[in-house]
Amino acid sequence: MEERRAQLRQSLGPAMGYLNAIVEMGVLKTFIDYKAFDMIPDSGSISLSELARKIGGEHEVLERLAAHLIAADFLTSPAPDHVAHTAKSLTYKSEQMAAGFLVHVFNMLFQPMAQLPTYFAQHGLASPKHADVTPFGLAWGHPDKDVYGILEAEPALAKVFNSMVGRSGALYPMKGVYDFSWMQQQVGSLDGERPVFVDIGGSSGLALRDMLSDNPFVPAERCAVFDLPKAIENAASSLDPALQSIQLVPGSIFDPLPPAVRGSLVYQFRRILNDFPDGDVLRSWKTVREAAASDTRVYVVEELMQANRTTFQIAQDITFMLVGGKRRTVEMHAALAGAAGFRLNAQFQDTGNECAVLEFILA
């Protein structure tokens, strides 16, 4: 009997680990949502009764949830019915990066991943072919919208998403990876009305801000952020002071580009192509090709799929699949661009991560 019990425990071991991880994420997300970590004093303790009163919850359920965090060493219990912070739990207060990232992962991965079997049951065991039919859409109750349409329809989700995108931008710098000095002489000889740099899907413009700061010879007034109307509206309401003279141009990359951003010297796709299936990426390339000038260059800034992938890198690729996208190799990017009339001119690898700048010119 004891041997059978040992075999059963061994068989269930991995599943029990998954169970604990799932419960832990749900409990942490709840504590963050209700700002429970914020209400616990940085030093000293608080009774669960007082904490329940402050966050508007029942003592009984808070006792049950806190028990898991205490057992997992996220919180301590210096006295009966009391909780206190640890160094770990302090990082989950509302304004901390760890809290934002956990909520982001819960929203963008945890909930959609639970819908993956349902998606396959409905659409077959195949990667999403359309950005508006995805596990992410099922998870958020919008089975006919792409990820950006869902963000527009869900302001609270968009707030967390945009915050994480903005805060993680520093992980993917262009400075030290790509040399823009070639533009200095080029800009001076261009027609004064011609756009110089268009950041497609540039959201709040922070990537453009950093490029302008590092390359002051680029005239800001001839640069633009081109994004969906809601994103442009949000950018205009909180525009960085350094970007007051840039152009904010609303539109869709799946429609012909408006006059204000046609014929640009540079177009940039920064960390957006991986969000879409191949068909939509090709449509994006064709849109840019139709608007490009003979000397246009296109930058693709993305984390690349590598030959020797880690488990985490493979997990990232599956994460993109949840919204209809994928991580791509250099060759995959080049093939899609080539089908629209571009060719890969150069590749610049960031030595600090797997991100690279791929430079394309007209074929």
What one-character-per-residue DSSP string does 280-291 give? HHHHHHHHHHHH
Compute the distance between CA of residue 3 and CA of residue 10 in angstroms, rounded to an integer.
11
DSSP 8-class letter at 34: T
**CATH class, range 172-362:** alpha beta
% of the chain exceeding 70 in pLDDT: 98
What is the share, in percent, of the chain residues with pLDDT greater than 90?
77
Residues 6+ apart with CB under 8 A from 296: 263, 264, 265, 266, 267, 288, 361, 362
Adjacency order of strands within the sheet including 266-270: 247-250, 223-227, 197-200, 266-270, 297-303, 355-362, 342-349
Amino acid of residue 77? S
Angle, CA 96 vertex, CA 61 and CA 69 arms, to 5°? 30
Q: Across the strands, what pairs with 304? A: none
For 331-341, what is the mean pLDDT?
Answer: 98
Q: Which pair of structure tokens corresponds to residue 128?
A: 């999403």
Q: How far is CA 80 from the centre of its chain?
A: 41
Q: Inform me whether the pLDDT recorded for 311 exceeds 70.
A: yes
In this predicted model, which residue has the larger pLDDT, 114 or 15? Answer: 114
Give the tens place of pLDDT for each residue, 272-291.
999 999 999 999 999 999 99
Q: Residue 200: enclosing H or E segment and its boundaries?
A: strand 197-200
How confident is the model at residue 187, as a pLDDT? 85
Q: Judge contact between 224 and 249, C-beta under 8 A.
A: yes
What spatial distance separates the first Cα and last Cα of the chain, rounded to whole Å? Answer: 72
* Residue 273: per-residue pLDDT: 96
The model's pLDDT over 131-175, given as tens digits with 9 standing for 90+, comes to 999 999 999 999 999 999 999 999 999 989 988 887 776 666 677
Fill in the amino acid letter for 151.
L
What is the per-residue DSSP string for 94-152?
TTSHHHHHHHHHIIIIIHHHHTHHHHHHHH-SS--SSTTSSHHHHHTT-TT--HHHHHH
Q: Are both 2-90 and 172-362 of the same fold?
A: no
Q: What residues does each domain of the chain span? A: 2-90, 103-167, 172-362
**Judging by beta carbons within 10 Å of its beta carbon (0-12, 13-18, 19+), is residue 218 exposed, middle or buried?**
buried
Q: How many CB atoms lie within 10 A of CB 181?
A: 8
Closest CA to 266 of 182, 347, 340, 168: 182
Q: Are strands 197-200 and 266-270 parallel, antiparallel or unpaired?
A: parallel
Mean pLDDT (whole number) for 199-214? 92
DSSP designation for 304: P
Alpha helices in the chain (DSSP H): 2-33, 36-39, 48-55, 59-71, 87-90, 97-105, 111-114, 116-123, 135-139, 147-153, 155-168, 182-188, 206-214, 229-237, 278-291, 311-322, 330-339
For residue 171, the model assigns a pLDDT of 64
Question: Which stretch of 87-96, 170-179, 185-194 has the lowest confidence by average pLDDT?
Answer: 170-179
Residue 180 CA, chain-centre distance (Å), reads 26
Distance, CA of 363 to CA of 300 (rounded, Å): 16
Q: What is the pLDDT of residues 26-54, one digit of tens each?
A: 999 999 999 999 999 999 999 999 999 99
pLDDT band at 219, cuts 50/70/90?
Answer: very high
Q: What is the pLDDT of residue 305?
A: 87
Q: Please tell me the distance from the alpha carbon of residue 93 to that of residue 39, in angstroms, as a whole number.
A: 9
Q: Say which CATH topology domain 2-90 has.
A: Arc Repressor Mutant, subunit A (1.10.10)
**pLDDT for position 212:** 94
| pTM reported for the whole predicted model | 0.87
Spatial contact of 199 and 268, defined as CB atoms under 8 Å apart: yes
Under DSSP, is residue 12 helix (H, G, I), strand (E, B) or coil? helix
Residues in the chain: 363
